[in-house]
Amino acid sequence: MTVYELQQKILEQKKEKDICILAHSYQAREICEVADFVGDSYALSVKAANVAQKTVIMCGVRFMAETVKVLSPDKRVILANPDAGCPMAEQMDKELISAMREANPDYAVVAYINTTTELKTVCDVCVTSSSAVKIVNAMPEKNIIFIPDINLGTYVSEQCPDKNIKLVHGGCPTHARMTEAHALEAKAAHPDALLLVHPECRDEVVKHADYIGSTSGIMDFAKASDAKEFIIGTENSIVEHLQYDCPDKKFYPLSKDLVCHNMKLGTLPELLLCVNGEFGEEILIDEDTRLKAKSCIDKMIEYGG
């Protein structure tokens, strides 16, 4: 079957079966084209709480599907590719965070949404890359432990100087691979281009950026900018999406190694199988865990607006 034929079948079947397809913006172009909604982690979370259809298929990584189930427990939530995990989400466990809480009783624990549902049960507030600064500033607590991304945490600390933020050593293996040398080389190769980076990149990369933001933030900035050339410091699918969306502008990857292999696992033929109930994994979360994790995500939406 061609890409077009597969897409037509998926569109037909999802309508007939009352299915909503959510896709993170790191997904392949052909998957985004058949999704009901494409966005960054924050926008997907807000959308997840308000889906009308009975079944939701998440084209993204596991924590994103878990967030949908936590917010919409009555929906059937399917992770399109069961092997798609986020390595950062699994870097810490409940025991470690509980021990940190005991050692720091006057600190609130802020969890990046790239964490497991289990881990969220022992945290106070969730944030995403697009909402972290706003949420941390809006929190009444001054003392904060920020988990698990040391790079996003460093960026938030710099943007929230009134807060006392303790960081832990975790992060995204894809973004953390980028070094200052990548930033300098890309800028030398494209001297007229603006550098747009995700805050999961190291501080040594972020300090050279003209814009720092989430996946959607980077796309919105590039679309609205008068500049004509951009170096993109996040997963390379964003380079491709922007090339489609802005054919009059030029986009270059910060590095060809900026690839999230987990996000790349999903394919269109598999998505058709998912829509037909022959592939994917249904996300199930026990009610006690769900409610504890929900409080953390609810606070994110309350503070994030």
Q: What is the Rg, in whole angstroms, of the alpha carbon atoms belonging to the chain?
A: 19
User: Which parts of 21-50 interact with ligand SF4 (CB under 6 A)?
Assistant: none
Contacts of 209 (CB under 8 A, 6+ apart): 183, 195, 196, 197, 201, 233
Query: Which CB sits closer to ligand 13P, 103 or 224?
Result: 224
Q: Name the minimum Å distance from CB 76 to ligand 13P.
A: 24
User: With contact defined as beta carbons under 8 Å apart, do 285 and 70 qualify?
Assistant: yes
Provide the minimum distance between the beta carbon of 244 and ligand 13P in the complex, in angstroms, as a whole number. Answer: 18
Nearer to ligand 13P, 280 or 304 (CB): 304
Please report, as residue ranges, which positions from 107 to 126 form the binding site for ligand SF4 (by CB under 6 A): 114
- Taking CB under 6 A as the criterion, the residue among 44, 263, 271, 283 binding ligand SF4 is 263
In whole angstroms, the minimum distance from the beta carbon of 112 to ligand SF4 comes to 8
Per CB under 6 A, the list member of 174, 214, 237, 255 interacting with ligand SF4 is 174
List residues bridging with 50 in a β-sheet: none
* Nearest alpha carbon to residue 278 among 60, 43, 9: 9
CA distance 228 to 192: 8
Binding site for ligand 13P (CB under 6 A): 40-41, 114, 128-130, 172, 198, 200, 214-215
Query: Among 32, 262, 274, 275, which residue sits at the site for ligand SF4 (rule: CB under 6 A)?
Result: 262
Question: Of the candidates 88, 111, 65, 117, which has an alpha carbon nearest to the alpha carbon of residue 293?
Answer: 117
Q: Give the residue, chosen from 260, 268, 283, 296, that forms a contact with ligand SF4 under the rule CB under 6 A.
A: 260
Q: Enter the tokens of residue 140.
A: 């009444």
Q: Which is nearer to ligand SF4, 19 or 28 (CB)?
A: 28
In the list ligand 13P, ligand SF4, none, the entry touching 120 (Cβ below 5 to 8 angstroms by class) is none
CA distance to 128, 166, 304, per residue, from 149 (Å): 11, 11, 19
Out of 88, 127, 167, 272, name the contact with ligand SF4 by CB under 6 A. Answer: 88
For the beta sheet containing 19-24, the strands, ordered from the edge strand earlier in sequence to the opposite edge, are 37-39, 19-24, 55-59, 76-79, 281-282
Please give the residue ranges that form the binding site for ligand SF4 (CB under 6 A). Answer: 61, 86-88, 114, 172, 174-175, 200, 235, 260, 262-263
